[in-house]
Amino acid sequence: MRQVRIFDTTLRDGEQSPGVSLSTQEKLEIAQQLAKLKVDIIEAGFPITSPGDFEAVTAIAKAIRGPIITGLCRANKADIDRAWEALRHAEKPMIHIVLATSDIHMKYKLQKTPDEVVKMGAEAVAYAKQFCDRIEFSAEDASRSDPDFLVRIFQAVIAAGATTINIPDTVGYTTPAEYRQLISHIRKNVSAGVVISVHCHNDLGMATANSLAAVESGADQVECTINGIGERAGNTAMEEVVMAIRTRRDFYQCETGIVTEELYRTSRQVSTLTGMVVQPNKAVIGANAFSHEAGIHQDGVLKERTTYEIMKPEEVGLAGNKLVLGKHSGRHAFRARLAEFGYNLSPEDLNKAFELFKVMADKKKEITDRDIEAIVENEISLAPEIVSLDYFQVTSGNVTVPTATIKLHKAGADIEEASSGDGPVDALYRAIDRALGIGHIELLEYGLKAVTEGKDALGEVVIKIKNGGSRVYVGRGVSTDIVEASAKAYVNALNKLLGDQYAGGTEAIAAGGAGTGGR
């Protein structure tokens, strides 16, 4: 059966989602999971855009084995040189060159004639070919380009050495019928033997439909992201394309090499590290994807699952049973449950997670699967623990000024501080800032959400803090007490910031001084 390749661009196009900024370590963790998912290609980043992106692509190229590793570059020598410098460490490197081909892009963005663009594309591919056998050429805004011009430039870059040609719907403009026709036109008029790839955006909500229409027309490769994240309205969601092909293999007459049982785990990891919450009704991996509330649906599923379920939850990595752990559960059962989710923790992290589980079990009547996920994903953090919270006390009410007293542990020393604020959380954050001598920390986002159902549900806080530059840090904390969750989240974000600062040789976040800016 025909094999469709899966090109994952979560770490490049996905990270271009507004408000998302992943560290090198976070990108590497996602790349390791993508390799476990068995994607065919990982687009690790856009190396020339920043030192951080170059570092991440280099780290992934060195560490990941199995998938092809690629990085994006524009059609110029400086971009290609920088990309190859990072990708040369990969087991299977590929250079990915992008060049706009629509009339509107050529006229207003590139300010070049079609002849000049064809020459640029061919020269860029020929230059890249000296470094690498695998070259992908993307015709940016292809869905709004003249089909005959696409054929012309594709023929030129293939002659120069391109092994994959990509036909992106860059602005999410096309429809399934149009895209199907365009892919067929390209297939009929370009050289055989080259991989035909598609890359769709979701501005009109048709990214998955357009990608699947392309597969119907013979596309060999689909470019997509986990959870459909990406610029503007996002990209084609990998989990949707993969499960559509698997579930309707009879119709599409093809398959992918994805280990679908890893989809849910990958989705949760990307959601946690990017701070982008997956909507409950999201296809395949949303919280409600395998839930049934209507009585007639419940009755049907109880009698025969296939009456209302076209996929098994186990196929995407969800546990089929409802094993509930409690305070009497042992370490063996806890470790086995983690293994079912795909977590492979070090002995040290396993002990920490088990201790947190026991603390939570004393506070809650039931510990659900989502509670366990929250412990691992939000408490077993990749951030270095430079600062830890020893204790806090908050006084608040409608007749008193909210005040907070805290004790932090940093570099072998205990620091105690107190502050007032506009509310209990604000007072708490100001006390933490004062204890660390931090100024000019801007709280960009703060939120609370229930991680599990019930009145004794856990609270989760997502905050982003910024210190002068564009780097954004996401912190999370989990507790049955929402103020404690808020404190843990803030300290978690500060640890990430401090880790970056220390790695860069800076010993303080900002000039000393109490108070915060922007809160």
The more confidently predicted of residues 294 and 347 is 347
The domain ranges of the chain are: 2-274, 319-379, 387-503
Query: What CATH number does the domain located at 387-503 have?
Result: 3.30.160.270
Q: What is the DSSP string of 435-453?
A: HHT----EEEE--EEESSS
- How far apart are the C-alpha atoms of 185 and 384, rounded to whole Å? 53
pLDDT of residue 258: 98
Q: Which of 383, 381, 386 is nearest to 411 (CA)?
A: 386
Report the phi/psi class of residue 297: left, alpha or beta, with left for phi > 0 and alpha for psi in -120 to 50: alpha
B/e letters for 374-410, b = 16+ CB within 10 Å, e = fewer, are bbbbbbbbebeebbebeebebebeeeeebbbbbbbee
Bridge partners, residue 98, by sequence: 74, 138
Selected residue with higher pLDDT from 385 and 45: 45
First-residue to last-residue Cα distance in the chain: 58
pLDDT band at 214 (very low <50, low <70, confident <90, very high): very high
Q: How confident is the model at residue 383, as a pLDDT? A: 61
Residue 262 gets which letter from DSSP? G
Rounded to an integer, the average pLDDT of 4-12 is 98
Query: Average pLDDT of the chain?
Result: 86
Number of Cβ within 10 Å of residue 443's Cβ equals 18
Give residue 319's pLDDT.
66
pLDDT number for residue 512 = 37
Model confidence at 321, in pLDDT bands (50, 70, 90)? very low
- Please report which helix (H) or strand (E) contains residue 390, including its range: strand 387-395
| Position with higher pLDDT, 463 vs 208 | 208
- Per-residue confidence band for 509, with pLDDT thresholds at 50, 70 and 90: very low
DSSP string, 306-346: GGT-SS-GGGGT--SS---B-TT--HHHHHHHHHHHT----
Give mean pLDDT, residues 410-429.
Answer: 91
Average pLDDT value for residue range 102-121: 97
2-274 — its CATH code? 3.20.20.70
In this predicted structure, the answer to whether residue 506 has a pLDDT above a threshold of 60 is: no
Distance CA 45, CA 113 (A): 29
262: Cβ contacts below 8 Å, ≥ 6 apart: 33, 36, 37, 38, 317, 342
What is the predicted pLDDT for the residue at 120?
A: 98
Would the pLDDT of 48 be above 70? yes
Tokens 């000019």 correspond to 440
What's the CA angle centered on 417, arms 444 and 390, to 5 degrees?
Answer: 85
pTM over 0.85: no
Could you tell me if 476 and 462 are in contact, meaning their C-beta atoms sit under 8 angstroms apart?
Answer: yes
Task: Round to whole Å and give the CA distance between 201 and 438.
Answer: 41
pLDDT at 105 over 90: yes
11-30 residue pLDDT tens: 999 999 988 889 999 999 99
User: pLDDT > 90: what percent of the chain?
Assistant: 59
Q: What is the pLDDT of residues 62-99, one digit of tens each?
A: 999 999 999 999 999 999 999 999 999 999 999 999 99
pLDDT at 8: 98
**Residue pLDDT, tens place only, 306-318:** 777 888 888 998 7
Residues 383, 492: contact at Cβ < 8 Å?
A: yes
Token digits for 77? Answer: 């020598």
Is the pLDDT confidence value at 245 over 70? yes
Q: Considering only residues 345 and 264, tell me which one the structure prediction assigns the higher pLDDT.
A: 264
119 burial level (CB within 10 Å; 0-12, 13-18, 19+):
middle
The Cα 510–Cα 512 span in angstroms is: 6
* Residue 296 confidence class, pLDDT cut points 50, 70, 90: low
Mark 478-492 as b/e (b = at least 16 C-beta within 10 Å): bbeebbbbbbbbbbb
